[in-house]
Chains A and B, each alone.
Chain A
Amino acid sequence: MDNWSLVSMCVLLGLTTRWAVSFNSYSGASKPPMFGDYEAQRHWQEVAYNLPVHEWYLNTTDNNLSYWGLDYPPLTAYHSLLCAYVAKLINPAWVELHTSRGYESSSHKLFMRTTVLIADILLYIPAVFLYCFYLSNGSSKKKVATALCILLYPGLILIDYGHFQYNNVSLGLALWGVVGLGSGWDLLGSLAFTLALNYKQMELYHSLPFFCYLLGKCIKQGLVGRGLFLLLKISLSVLATFALCWLPFLSEPQQVLQVLHRLFPVARGLFEDKVANTWCSLNVLIKIKTLILTHFCIAFSLALTFLFVLPSSIKLLTKPTMWQFKLALVNSSLAFFLFSFQVHEKSILLPALPVCLLMNELPLMATWFLLVSTFRLRRAFRTVTKICGAVLLARNKSNLSLCDLSLSAVTETALFLPFVQFGISMAAMAVLSTASAALEPPARLPDLFPVLVSIFSCMHFLASLLYFNFVQLTEPPSRRGQKKTN
């Protein structure tokens, strides 16, 4: 009886926070000619509604790809189409071909924000609660507390409801995938993940663990017999899902290539803007972006990424348990984030989601990582309040389960990570935030603060990568909070 009231209060709190953040401005507001991600999403609705499917990814007179051309897989386009139908009912001017470019109004903003909220309510939030209630240990109060902490992760809220994106759809689908796999419904889980992949290609960061986990499971069940049967079922369903999503484009191979070309813009270089990964940080010391040729960069980054992803994937293959799976998700996505090509800073959400799932077992490290990831995103006053919110939530949660925290703290301390370092890190973040808000950078180094923040975060991420890899590869025998294996 208590559960439903606690759950509903958590959901209400999560929704309130999201909607309150949406009061603020979105990316590119009042900034012609290009505006920002908000205009991109609106433009995709316009394109999807007015143009036939086979023109969505092509450069035509009606569809100028240099103005926010579609660069996500087809499911995003279908979602935009759905939103466009609703938009047309409310106000056709919002999606009128060509004339609606740069359309901005308070009612349109309300509409767009509502679409994000609905996606949250339908996809992301139920997945979070399902995960917490069925795949995590502890009392029901602890599960609700975990769910609340995940729901209040500032990074996702700021990007989706502030900047404006639909990460909750792809992350929600990926989480459904995790829930499916954890509950033993491998087929549904892989289906959900395939849909996530078809929504945003960045989900490739998560694909290796999914693949290794399922393959490992098939191998365990015996590659001649049940295992093989399972493997075939999964492969067929994945292929079928892909085929279904890409159906309109399968008529010509040219189409498929064009879409792939849009999804993976290798011509754009090693990185753009300030992102807290190794390449951007290294660039400060050695200008690798200009010194080394593009195809060399691609090869180098590919090699390094796979180097860091390999140990975790192999371990998962040999031991396909949920605990290993979650750690592998973290390690894989973090490795991709740090070493891959054309990474955007928002991709930090991809490691952040699996880290949220580790909140129960490794509360300190998880909270630390999530705070750094949020800190990295934007240094506005709002971010500061969100960070505080996250901190107090973590604290509150740790208050509710003090003995669990102390036990994992013991484990974590054994790995040489005391609370003191956490405190120093938090203090440094506070100083950097205040400095970048209050002080003017010296004229010679106008980008001083963003670069400092970037490097600071990158150091933390590298340390996290090593730590989580260590935890995964040296899994202690009596792991408290081990998930039920299936």
Chain B
Amino acid sequence: MASPMNSDSGWFLALALGVSFIKCLLINAYHSTDFEVHRNWLAVTHSMPVSKWYYEATSEWTLDYPPFFAWFEYGLSHVAAYFDKEMLVVRNLNYASPATVLFQRLSVIVTDVVFIYAIKEFNSWSCAIYRCCKCLREDKGKELLWKPSFILATLLLWNFGLIIVDHIHFQYNGFLFGVLLLSVARHFQSKTDGSVHWKSFSPFRFVVLGSIVLTTFALSFGPFIALGQIPQVLSRLFPFKRGLCHAYWAPNVWALYNIVDKVLSMLGVKLGMLDINKLPKATMTGGLVQEFQHTVLPSVSPLVTLICTLLSILPALFHMWYRPSGGRGFLRCIVICALGSFMFGWHVHEKAILMAILPLSWLAVEHREDARTFLILSTTGHFSLFPLLFTAQELPIKILLMLLFTIFSFTSLKKLFRGRLVSSVEATYLLGLIPLAVICELVYPLTPWHHTLPFIPLLLTSIYCALGVTYSFIRLYISLLTVPSTTSKGKCQ
């Protein structure tokens, strides 16, 4: 039963505190090399002068994020000094004292406050829009657990991918995504209609926008432009020598491309059309990060991936330009651009799927079709993150949290939209994740191939999830092109 006013702000705080407390419990969980990466960056930014930041190479984990992140690490390093000064020494490679772990983990948890604040703002913006039209799907009168605002807050705050990537694997995605979400929310809080019609186009506004962007870039890259280090910075930010795919293939188009190439080359050898001696050995499946060539299909260069990415996102951009549909349309475009870049980008990490899943959450509580896409994308996307946590101790955590999130998203969205959200084929595909998990986590490690062909479970996960991700991408485009464009007031669909 819905409770009086107390619960309106109370539940959000309870959700936020609850997830923070889970994050605190995960302080002593496994952390990946990214932990050392960030410790190294703390050390580099703290101990070295700015001119050396992008040249420092004592550790293999060189600074490969843009300057604002470096400044962020610099700020953190001053707090770190109170926990353990030793972590700020560049030579202390792989230094991980309890105080270091505590500090690093706490920094992620505390900076997530930005993310939490952003969600709150986002929610209040959505509620503001709800109030200006008489919609069926209003917040009022509903039980707390099935209110759209509650569902959205939970889907974002308790997002499985974000928790395991940020708080176990170790990264700062929550904070960064919070900044993005805040910028979107602020942008639409200032006006009800996000469109820029040609009629109201003004050179003045364009110049103001342009100068804001340029100033930000200037602040960020300024010092390095002054030092003449831009080529070095860019080479660190965009390391094209790393190969088309990461050691673990992100479930995108290139993963499918790779497997087709492999199958064709095996078929070719079997049918006698290819000479096995001329084939490069164990290139892509070797699990190493390097440049490689395809055997049967043409090799893919960074330029090709760029063109493919642009081609995949241009229709969405044009659609938004010519038929703007307020906040929802803008978010849809963001999702498609994020997913397009994920699908066709160069050296994509599987964690990038979160950039598409998180904004899609908002669309999912709004629109039935998007809810369907969200369920497929989030389930497969989150499952594709499983190989990130490969230790036995973390296995129960990832399964329990995944189940928790999946059950919540399915039951809440089903309750919100009444009726089946996934077709039988889709349901079968999603249920197929269970035997896949059993094979990859439990059965395969007990087989003899575990040592000779360790890449197989990763390959299977990657390919299986790539199908779901590709399908979601297509669905998103279909819903973009078929949903009638509306003004921001017309939320009721």
Contact = CB atoms under 8 A, between A and B. Distances in A.
> Which secondary structure characterizes the binding site on chain A?
helix
A433 to B, nearest CB: 15
Contact of B18 (A12, A389, A399): A389
A185 interface: no
Contacts of B3: 399-402
B29 A12 contact: no
A42 to B, nearest CB: 18
Contacts of B392: 107, 110
A12 B403 contact: yes
B411 A12 contact: no
B424 interface: no
B10 A385 contact: no
A396 interface: yes
> Which secondary structure characterizes the binding site on chain B?
helix
Given A16-B400, A16-B401, A399-B7, A24 B17 contact: no
A100 to B, nearest CB: 21
B10 A9 contact: no
Nearest to B29: A23
Nearest to A13: B404
Interface in A385-404: 385-386, 388-389, 392-393, 395-396, 399-402
Contacts of A388: 17, 21
Contacts of A399: 3, 6-7, 10-11, 14
B482 interface: no
B404 A402 contact: no
A402 B25 contact: no
B404 A12 contact: yes
Nearest to B16: A392
B311 interface: no
A477 to B, nearest CB: 27
Contacts of B407: 5, 8-9, 12
Nearest to B14: A396
Given A8-B407, A141-B145, A392-B21, A19 B400 contact: yes
Interface string B190-220: 0000000000000000000000000000000
Contacts of A386: 21
B25 A17 contact: yes
A399 B11 CA distance: 8
Contacts of A110: 392-393
A17 B404 CA distance: 12
Interface string A19-56: 11101100000000000000000000000000000000
Contact of A2 (B10, B17, B396, B415): B415
A264 B169 CA distance: 48
Contacts of A24: 28
Given A389-B18, A402-B4, A20 B415 contact: no
Contacts of B404: 9, 12-13, 16
B27 to A, nearest CB: 8
B230 to A, nearest CB: 44
B96 interface: no
A2 B21 CA distance: 26
A254 interface: no
A21 B6 CA distance: 31
A106 B407 CA distance: 31
B10 A16 contact: no
Contacts of A401: 3
Nearest to A25: B28
A399 B24 CA distance: 24
A15 B4 contact: no
B393 A106 contact: yes
A402 B28 contact: no
Contact of A16 (B11, B14, B22): B22
A141 B146 CA distance: 12
A295 interface: no
Interface string B386-410: 0000001100110011011001100
Contacts of A20: 22, 25-26, 29, 397
Contact of B1 (A15, A139, A389): A139
Contacts of B393: 23, 106, 110
A484 interface: no
A437 to B, nearest CB: 12
Nearest to B13: A392
A466 to B, nearest CB: 31
Given A16-B400, A400-B3, A385 B28 contact: no
A15 B400 contact: yes
A411 B13 CA distance: 28
A153 to B, nearest CB: 14
Contacts of A15: 396, 400
B144 interface: yes
A4 B28 CA distance: 32
A290 B467 CA distance: 75
A382 interface: yes
Contact of B411 (A2, A107, A139, A392): A2
B11 A396 contact: yes
Contacts of A13: 404
Contacts of A389: 17-18, 21
Contact of A400 (B102, B144, B408): B144
A396 B10 contact: yes
Contacts of A8: 403, 407
Contacts of A23: 25-26, 28-29, 393
Nearest to A391: B17
A396 B16 CA distance: 12
A108 to B, nearest CB: 12
Nearest to B146: A2
B411 A21 contact: no
Nearest to B17: A392
A150 B219 CA distance: 52
Given A12-B407, A388-B21, A392-B21, A402 B11 contact: no
A9 B393 CA distance: 21
A385 B411 contact: no
B445 to A, nearest CB: 13
Contacts of B25: 17, 20-21, 23, 382, 385
Interface string B244-276: 000000000000000000000000000000000
A330 to B, nearest CB: 27
Contacts of B396: 15, 19, 117
A44 to B, nearest CB: 24
Nearest to A113: B393
A8 to B, nearest CB: 6
A22 to B, nearest CB: 8
A402 B10 CA distance: 12
Nearest to A15: B400
A398 to B, nearest CB: 9
A382 B404 CA distance: 23
A385 B393 CA distance: 21
Interface in A213-265: none
Contacts of A400: 1, 3, 7, 144
Given A15-B396, A110-B393, A402-B3, A392 B22 contact: no
A392 B29 contact: no
A5 B414 CA distance: 12
A382 B102 CA distance: 12
Contacts of A381: 24, 102
Nearest to A386: B21
Given A12-B404, A20-B397, A402-B4, 10 more contacts: A13-B404, A15-B396, A15-B400, A16-B397, A23-B393, A388-B21, A392-B18, A399-B11, A400-B3, A402-B6
25 contacts: A5-B411, A6-B145, A9-B408, A13-B404, A15-B396, A17-B22, A19-B396, A20-B22, A20-B29, A110-B392, A117-B396, A141-B143, A141-B145, A381-B24, A388-B17, A389-B17, A392-B18, A393-B14, A395-B10, A396-B10, A399-B6, A399-B11, A400-B1, A400-B144, A402-B7
Interface of A: 2, 5-6, 8-9, 12-13, 15-17, 19-21, 23-24, 106-107, 110, 117, 139, 141, 381-382, 385-386, 388-389, 392-393, 395-396, 399-402
